[in-house]
Amino acid sequence: MASDLSTLIKDGVCSTIQGLLAKDVSINDIFKIEEDSLEDIQLLSICSTFEFENITSSWNFIFPAIASSIIFNAMMGMEEEPSQTIDNDMADAIKEVVSNISGGLTTAINGAEYEDLKNAKFSIVQEDIIQTTDMDNFDNLFKFSITIDQAVTDIFIQFDNVILPFINDIKNSPLAQKLEKPEPEPEPEPEPEPEPEPEPEPEPEPEPEPEPEPEPEAKPEPKPEPAQEDLSDEDIKNKKLKMIIIGVGATLGLVIISAIVFYFLGWFDPPPPPPVKLEQNTTKKLDKNGLEIVHYPKNKKTNFKIDMINTNHLNIKLAFLLNKKEILNNTTTQQKKKQNKQTPKQTKIKKDNKLNFLSTYKLQYKNYKELIKKYNIVNARISLCKDTFNRTIIYIGPFKNHTQETMILNQIKSKYTNKIKEIKLDKDTFNKRCN
């Protein structure tokens, strides 16, 4: 018995559209379509070819304009009414949906490992925007009624005869109801034309009355000119005062605007300082014999005082340099001794080439020094260094063994600070941080 791909097709259509739109999608019903079951609408037809090991099948995915616009608006995040037409942008979006559906189906078929189909691959070969009336073949056409986030719409898939044995469930879907075409209304019978009535005899026209003679037009009387009111002296003074105030205000406004313009143009900026003439380093003078003698200026003497020396800074630097030299010398001597002895511990040091130190940010150089002298730890030194964030840090070590390191660590924690930890450094890192 041939494999049935019906469930994979239904699940693939739902899951692909749901994944692209991030909305709930479900298939309500599947119907087989005949010619009389479709309305005259605009459609987008996309042909996808599936190549199996032994057969090749072509499927037409047909999306009506309303379904195409619902999916396109959801993909673009737009809330618009469904459209009755399909444009190029909408066609590109639906083509991407069909490509994703076909890719999901081939993945599912290959994962199921059907013995009669084996591996599958697909390709999109054609897309067209058509009307229902342009379709001449309705064989094996099925309507999938789907719900997209409470919006019910239809899409169609037309299979060829090659794949029919592998879609038994879809093939046995019920027929869709045929559209009832409205019966043409009977044309109304023409009403009989009424007989013409006899025309009445014309009445005699009355004689025209004589027109009255026009009366002579009366000439318009000239309007009296308004009498000019006599202005008092006080009104004249007030008028002059207003004119003066307006003039002063306009002048002030003009001055302020001009000042602002000149300010932005840089008229009020201070003049640039005059260039400073540098003194020449040498002067030329003539001696008694007329020869030029070059005089060089004397260097200024520095008034140096002993108080100007920062002794604390020099002592810290000196101690740092001495400790660094002692640490490097002791490290070299110890490595030579360990190589000669060839003990397991020496082999381990040679393998990782790292030294044991204690690190702390608590700057108590003197206390740490006394502690090392007290326990007679010969190899350990106190070194002022910089960490990876360029902060001052103290490294105590290197230690000959872990016992010495643990003893000093416990003593420092109990007496001075808990902010101390064990660290391992190789020679190059120590030189870089403590240089």
- Is the distance from CB of 343 to CB of 351 less than 8 angstroms? no
Closest CA to 354 of 407, 395, 410: 395
Most confident of 130-134, 250-254, 400-404: 250-254
The predicted model gives 176-204 an average pLDDT of 58
- Interval 301-314 mean pLDDT: 73
Structure tokens at 181: 């075409």
pLDDT attached to residue 49: 94
* pLDDT tens digits along 134-186: 888 888 899 999 999 888 999 999 899 998 899 989 988 888 776 555 555 55
pLDDT band at 217 (very low <50, low <70, confident <90, very high): low
pLDDT, the chain, mean = 78
The pLDDT score that the predictor gives to residue 183 is 54
Asked whether the predicted pLDDT for residue 349 surpasses 50, the reply is: no
What is the pLDDT at residue 195? 58
Dihedral angle sign, alpha carbons of residues 83, 85, 89, 93: positive
Give the separation between CA 155 and CA 63, rounded to whole angstroms. 5
The confidence score (pLDDT) of residue 425 equals 82
User: Given the DSSP bridges, would you call strands 56-64 and 151-159 parallel, antiparallel or unpaired?
Assistant: antiparallel
Q: In the predicted model, what is the mean pLDDT of residues 53-60?
A: 90
Local confidence band at 278 (pLDDT 50, 70, 90 cut-offs): very low
CA distance 124 to 95: 8
303 backbone dihedrals φ, ψ, rounded to 5°:
-85, 90
More confident residue, 226 or 160: 160
**Block residue for tokens 């070819």:** 49
**pLDDT (tens digit per residue) in 256-269:** 998 898 888 877 77
Q: Which residue has the tokens 């360029």?
A: 390
Q: Is the pLDDT of residue 396 over 90?
A: no
Give the per-residue pLDDT at 369: 77
Cis peptide before 214 (omega within 30 of 0): no
Confidence (pLDDT) at 103: 92
> Is 39:178 a contact under the CB 8 Å cutoff?
no
Cβ pair 46, 166 in contact under 8 A: no
Q: How confident is the model at residue 39 (pLDDT cuts 50, 70, 90)?
A: confident
pLDDT of 308 reads 75
Choose the most confident range, by mean pLDDT, from 11-15, 217-221, 363-367.
Answer: 11-15
Q: What residue ranges in 311-380 does DSSP mark as E strands?
A: 355-360
**In the prediction, which pLDDT does 344 show?**
43
pLDDT higher at 210 or 378 = 378
